[in-house]
Amino acid sequence: MANDLDLRVRLLGDSSDLEAATQDAEQSVDRLGTVMAGLGVAGAAGGAALAVGFANAADLEAGTAKLQAQLGLTAEEAGEMGSLAGELYGDNFGADMGSVNAALKSVTNNLGDVGEIGEDAFRSASEAALTLADVFEVDVAESTAAAAALVKNGLAKNSEEAFDIIAKGFQDGTNKADDFLDTITEYAPQFSKLGLDGEASLALLSAGIKAGARDTDRIADAFQEFGFRAIDGTELSAEGYRALGIDAKEATATIAAGGPAAQAMTQQVLRGLADMKDPVAQNTAGVALFGTQWEDTMRALIEPMADANLEVNNLSGATDRMTAAMGSTGKARVAEWRREIEQWVTTMAQGTGASSTAVAAIGSFGPAALGAAGSLGAMVSGLAALNLGSAVARVGQLAAATATTAWTGAQWLLNAALTANPIGLVIVAIAAMIAIFVVAYRRSDRFRAVVNRLWAAFKFGAVATWGALRAFASRFGAWVSGLVARGARIVRWFRDLPARVRGALGNARSLLAQKGRDIVAGLWNGIADMGSWIRGRVSNFIQSTIVGPIQRALQFGSPSKVARQWGRWTGEGLGLGITDTTASVASASSSLAATAIPRPSRALGGGTGRGAGDTIHLHVGTMITDDRQLMQRIEQARKATSRARTVRPVVARVGA
């Protein structure tokens, strides 16, 4: 083996393609040092795609093994199932490989495996279940069970029609109470007994929900009750039919036979009940045919039920249109392109040939190598000094040429990498990645479109990022400038603080004295200004609280009428009291005088007289009120009579 890695390789293919590929590779290698930095940026995305691809390969292998164990598949059947799962995931169905495998399992358990319903039907059912799960967040097990109930009970011809019925029901709001799928699964046999197909059943459920029914379960329960009574042959049911003008035996036989005739008879019963004008008769017939469900549900819904069009608009193809709508967005297309790359890596990683080995080897260290491409750009210049520059160019030529031929060259590339030193190993890996990318870009229109779109998105993102960085740098610079300015102001404030403190303390004495005088003067002026206000408040308080109530109570005036009246009453009372007690006073006075002055046995004054029986009459001009006054008057009378010639005994007589 030569020092410049001049290795021989058997090339297969057209020489013109080889020459063109070699020229492209040479030009790419010439610019390798510059492009390395760009590869470093793109390496993260490329590495992520490789990592996801190899992770999916592991998930697919594990998922396939799990499906094989769950469904009891042979190795060949499990391989086919795994391939289908990969294809569905690559077509952007399912959130991940696990959800895709769950859908395949549910379709197999509920609708049948590929051998029973056919590969196309199996794939279509799986896509429909995954789309419903994506759009309406429906569990794939529930949707496939409902589809199976429609098919097995004759309400749908196949799984495609069944999923159209389910999709249309969700789109029309029939799942208002989140019980639509459960209702289909549970009551599909009852609808079938009445001859109703899936479209007619959906129309009746939808009409009931739009008319105000709480949920689809109540509506379906009412039809189940009717299905029992319609064919029980009892007299009560017969009376219900007769009230509608329908022959009971004929109706019973028709509904029992099922099919379109039974559906027509069911419609006739609904129409007959809706047309009854007498509410009592209508209620009697309704109870006879629907039992308690008439009052609970059907009585309020009979009009819209009878008027319902049993042909649903735009039913056929509802699932396909829903799937197409979900896949038409830019986000969905990008996701699909990404998954195609992941699936290509997954497929290559699962293979056993030379190309698969090369991809596996690249996938093992390719992401790290691409992530370090920025540093390797500088390394390329140094390789020239080690006489490895020609080796790099030759490897690039051989890799590009090999990529245009059979994958035998990839095997050679791997062998060369394994025998080279670490630097050569990295170079060979990068060159192999370039070769694979070149041939895929040149040979696959779809891959080229994906790369172009990704590159356009990358450029857009780079421009937007650069603009954002420039705006951020501008704002950051302004912020730093403002911060510096604020810092300078803070420094100046602290620098000037001592001077401001000294000035403030120097003026504090005079400032405080003046402020004290101002406070006292202001307080006194305030009190003086409020003097009249205080006097007014006190005067008002006394007048309103003390004087006012007394004045109102005594009716004071000028002069006071109340005091005047009191004066009159006092004088009159005093006079009446004196008059009423005159007799009592006189009697008391006489008794007192008689007790105080005994009858004399000789003449007053100790002289002799004409006899002991002489009487002196004493007249007193004023009223005597006590014994002292009486004694004074008697003494005066005695003295007066002692001067008379004749002294006669005196008997005091008290009078008024």
> What are the CA-CA distances from residue 379 to residues 25, 28, 37 (Å)?
19, 16, 11
Kindly give, in sequence order, each residue whose CB lies less than 8 Å from that of residue 431, ignoring residues fewer than 6 positions away: 29, 392, 395, 396, 399, 413
Cβ neighbours around 434 below 10 Å, total: 22
d(CA 425, CA 482): 53
Instruction: Report the pLDDT value the prediction gives residue 382, as an integer from 0 to 100.
Output: 47
- What pLDDT sits at residue 210? 94
3-state secondary structure of 492: helix
pLDDT tens across 22-45, in order? Answer: 455 445 444 444 444 444 444 444
377 versus 62: the higher-pLDDT residue is: 62
For residue 83, what pLDDT is reported?
86
Please state, as a whole number, how many other Cβ atoms lie within 10 Å of the Cβ of residue 34: 10
Judge if pTM exceeds 0.85. no
Query: Does residue 128 surpass a pLDDT of 80?
Result: yes
Higher pLDDT, 333 or 137: 137
What does the alpha-carbon distance between residue 261 and residue 267 come to, in Å, rounded to a whole number? 10
Q: Half-sphere exposure of residue 568, counting CA atoms within 13 Å on the CB side?
A: 5
Q: How confident is the model at residue 630 (pLDDT cuts 50, 70, 90)?
A: confident
Arithmetic mean of pLDDT, 182-189: 97
pLDDT of the residue at 92? 87
d(CA 634, CA 391): 179
Half-sphere exposure at residue 265, Cβ-oriented, CA atoms within 13 angstroms: 25
Q: What is the residue extent of each domain of the chain?
A: 44-154+323-350, 173-311, 596-651
d(C-alpha 61, C-alpha 78), whole Å: 10
pLDDT band at 249 (very low <50, low <70, confident <90, very high): very high
Mean pLDDT of 349-372: 49
Nearest by Cα to 92 from 331, 350, 448: 331
With a cut of 60, say whether residue 639 has pLDDT above it. Answer: yes
| Residue 609 vs residue 147, higher pLDDT | 147
Place 463 in a pLDDT band, splitting at 50, 70 and 90. Answer: confident
Asked whether residue 599 carries a pLDDT value surpassing 60, the answer given is no
Per-residue pLDDT, averaged over 86-95, amounts to 87
What are 347's two structure tokens?
């497929």
pLDDT grade for 304, boundaries at 50, 70 and 90: very high
- Among 69-83, 395-409, 422-436, 541-555, the minimum mean pLDDT is found in 395-409
Output the pLDDT for position 250. Answer: 95
Q: Which of 618, 623, 621 is nearest to 653 (CA)?
A: 618
Phi/psi at 396 (5° precision): -60, -40
The count of C-alpha atoms lying within 13 angstroms of the C-alpha of 413, restricted to the half-sphere facing its C-beta, is 37
**Model pLDDT, residue 251:** 96
List Cβ neighbours of 288 (8 Å cut-off, separation of 6 or more).
229, 236, 237, 239, 240, 243
CA dist 293 and 297 (Å) reads 5
Most confident region among 239-248, 321-330, 622-631 by mean pLDDT: 239-248
Give yes or no for residue 596 having a pLDDT over 80.
no
Task: Give the pair of three-digit tokens for residue 389.
Answer: 């520059």
The total of other beta-carbon atoms located within 10 Å of residue 48's CB is: 13
pLDDT score recorded for residue 399: 44
Paired with 616 in beta bridges are: 650
Kindly report the three-state secondary structure assignment for every residue of 195-264: CCCHHHHHHHHHHHHHCCCCCHHHHHHHHHHHHHHHCCCCHHHHHHHHHCCCCHHHHHHHHHHCHHHHHH
* Mean pLDDT for all residues in the chain: 73
Beta strand spans in 332-479 (E): none
Residue 618: what pLDDT? Answer: 59
pLDDT (average), residues 6-20: 40
Could you tell me the pLDDT band of residue 58, with boundaries at 50, 70 and 90? low
* pLDDT for residue 102: 92
Report the distance separating Cα 614 and Cα 422, nearest Å: 184
pLDDT of 446 over the 90 cut: no
Cα 637 to its chain centre, rounded Å, is 126
Q: Average pLDDT for residues 611-620, to the nearest whole number?
A: 54
Block residue for tokens 């995954």 = 130
Tokens representing 575 are 């006079």
404 pLDDT tier (thresholds 50, 70, 90): very low
| Least confident interval from 76-85, 300-309, 425-434, 580-589 | 425-434
Q: Looking at the predicted structure, is the pLDDT value of residue 507 above 90? A: no
Looking at residue 354, its pLDDT comes to 45
